Amino acid sequence: MSWTEVIIEIAREHAEGLSDALMEAGALSVSVEDADEGTDQEKPLFGEPGMEPAEAAWDRSRVVALTDVDADQAAIIAEAAAAIGLASVPGFTTRAVADADWVRLTQSQFEPIHIGTNIWVVPSWHEAPDPDGLILELDPGLAFGTGSHPTTRLCMEWLEAHPAPGKSVLDYGCGSGILAMVAKKLGALDVTGVDIDPQAIESARANAERNGCDITFYVPDELAVSADERHRGGKFDIVVANILSSPLKLMAPMLSGRVAAGGSLVLSGVLARQAEEVAAAYAPFIKLGVWAEQDGWVALHGTLGQDTVPAARSSTNA
């Protein structure tokens, strides 16, 4: 079986509406891309569960609709344009999409990832390159965190460099649960993951079970009333949060308050140019410094009750 893709360039204010209308008119799937991708005008859109951009579109958006090969593409576009009140039918181009073994093709794009000294993130369809390493079986999915992004790698490398046998760890914004699993496999006794996205929690629980890790995952409200939370007084020996700089700054009092006396706070999702302003937000509670930098991203670290800023580690691209 084969299909035809229809490509339409359109202004930001019409991109989402046209996407929805194309689906109603018979498109099989629709995506919105930056029409300036690959040029100096390309603009990244960042978002997280619960903090998505107001519009999932760009100033010049490219709407790509997949249709059956024998569909009337012109009629589908005309119907969609009329449905959202466009004065005229937008121009479009088409391209053929040949049939393929999409599962095998997708899997071929993901290879085992080596992180730090001894950590391997291995898709389920691969053999572990080093059976004696710290192996995480993790398939790419809906929740953020497979170890491919520098911020995830930095947090994993920090956990590997600071194993905490018998200690408690909180992974706030856990996504796939990858950081919580690394902490558990490195010997942490009590590991908790928190995420605002219930779908991420579901994914993290499945990943932890697959990897034989006993980890408790909550959405924030569930954590606040849990028996484990009351038992430890809400404090953890290590708190790690790999999110983005803006929410990290807003959560400074809360995340700092989760760290036990003498415990460590590790933050990432922070660009190097944002490090000072994030550290400043935490300064009233805990002194943070850059632990390491990778590809323009940093991991910040501090110890509660320690007045000096920790020294930075050498930059790594491992």
β-strand pairing of 259-271 with 236-242:
parallel
> Cα–Cα distance between 218 and 128 in angstroms, integer?
30
> Cα–Cα distance between 130 and 169 in angstroms, integer?
26
> Cα–Cα distance between 141 and 89 in angstroms, integer?
36
> Cα–Cα distance between 174 and 281 in angstroms, integer?
22
Report the alpha-carbon angle 171-174-175, nearest 5.
Answer: 170
Binding-site positions: 152, 173, 195, 242
Cβ atoms of residues 22 and 7 within 8 Å: no
Task: Please return the burial class of 85, using the count of CB atoms within 10 Å of its CB with bins 0-12, 13-18 and 19+.
Answer: exposed
Cβ atoms of residues 271 and 130 within 8 Å: no
Binding-site positions for S-adenosyl-L-methionine: 152, 173, 195, 242
Distance, first Cα to last Cα, the chain: 42
